[in-house]
Amino acid sequence: MDSRCSNPQSLEAAVEAAATFLNNAVKPVIVAGSKLRVANAQSSFLHLAETSGYATAIMPSAKGLFPENHQGFIGTYWGAVSSSYCLEIVESADAYLFAGPIFNDYSSVGYSL
């Protein structure tokens, strides 16, 4: 864990809880948001996608932050105007993790999770 965080034990517990939740899901999905760029976390997100094997989508503002030729890539998640089948996959998932998202009416096309 990163020694710069204020409470490494809490961070480790949160990561363990999230991993348990996602690993117990039948249809988990991860979605990349534009704040991955600000956090310089693109490679960490790619590593998560590769090691987990979860279906992976990007938000429109995250174009270019995840390789669209990746085997787990399912498209751009943008509410009702998502890539073909991406909307159905994301919104029917029993667990999802949005990494670095910006949620507003524009990015969700008015949809509320």
For the stretch 56-111, pLDDT in tens is 999 999 999 999 999 999 999 988 888 889 999 999 999 999 999 988 766 666 65
Rounded to two decimals, the pTM is: 0.85
Decide: 30 and 52 in contact? Cβ < 8 Å: yes
Report pLDDT digits (tens) over 14-62. Answer: 999 999 999 999 999 999 999 999 999 999 999 999 999 999 999 999 9
CB neighbourhood size of 96 (10 A) = 20
